[in-house]
């Protein structure tokens, strides 16, 4: 019996000695994983995300495009429309006025502006042509004290070299508002043309 127990104890001891070696040895899976990481096949680098640059938003066109003959409500009972031969408008009295761009009275080879005005103690309606440029950006009215009024610009389709501007100011002075100067700028703010105020009755110019 004694020899049996000694033999059994020896077997147990042998198992105990062999066990740590078996547990601590790397498995086939862990060896493969380590090799893969060492060779770089398991590690993948995600490509950097590229944010596309936003396209610049174009500035809004300062000139409203209208169809030939399209009536535009200019406010205060005034209506303006354009045809291929020039500017048309009516006032509260319903009488139609016309300013030609083809009769030779304006030189469209260089930038310029014209000015017509009519009004009374309640206010003055100003309008005119701008011409000689396809880059009109702003028309301003200014008085002798430096007060400025920005006009509305309209033109026919196809980027013509002329269009119409109109604006309203306060009550008329002795010359119906014609003393106001008119200035034309391009879209970059560059001065293109100036028309000084004149002391003549309203409705001319």
> 71-106: per-residue pLDDT in tens?
999 999 999 999 999 999 999 999 999 999 999 999
Cα gap 98→75, rounded to integer Å: 18
Phi-psi domain of 158 (left: phi exceeds 0; alpha: psi -120 through 50; beta: other): left
> 140-191: per-residue pLDDT in tens?
999 888 899 999 999 999 989 999 999 999 986 666 667 899 999 999 999 9
Element (H, E) at 174: none
Residues 6+ apart with CB under 8 A from 162: 101, 108, 129, 130, 131, 132, 155
* Overall pTM surpassing 0.85 (yes/no): no
Pairing of strands 116-120, 152-155: unpaired
């Amino acid at each position: 019996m004694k020899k049996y127990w000694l033999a059994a104890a020896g077997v147990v001891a042998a198992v105990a000695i062999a066990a740590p070696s078996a547990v601590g040895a790397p498995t086939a899976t862990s060896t493969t994983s380590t090799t893969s990481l060492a060779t770089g096949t398991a590690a993948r680098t995600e490509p950097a995300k590229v944010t596309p640059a936003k396209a610049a938003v174009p500035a809004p066109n300062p000139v409203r495009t209208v169809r030939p003959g399209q009536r535009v409500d200019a406010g205060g009972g005034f209506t303006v429309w354009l045809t291929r031969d020039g500017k048309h408008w009516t006032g509260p009295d319903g009488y139609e006025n016309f300013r030609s761009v083809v009769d030779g009275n304006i030189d469209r080879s260089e930038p310029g502006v014209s000015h017509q005005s009519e009004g009374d103690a309640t206010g003055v309606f100003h309008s005119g042509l701008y011409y000689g440029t396809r880059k009109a950006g702003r028309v301003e009215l200014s008085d002798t004290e430096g007060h400025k009024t920005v006009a509305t610009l309209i033109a026919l389709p196809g980027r013509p070299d002329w269009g119409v501007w109109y604006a309203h100011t306060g009550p008329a002075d002795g010359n119906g508002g014609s003393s106001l100067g008119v200035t034309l700028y391009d879209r970059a703010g560059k001065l293109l043309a100036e028309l000084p105020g004149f002391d003549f009755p309203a409705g001319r110019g």
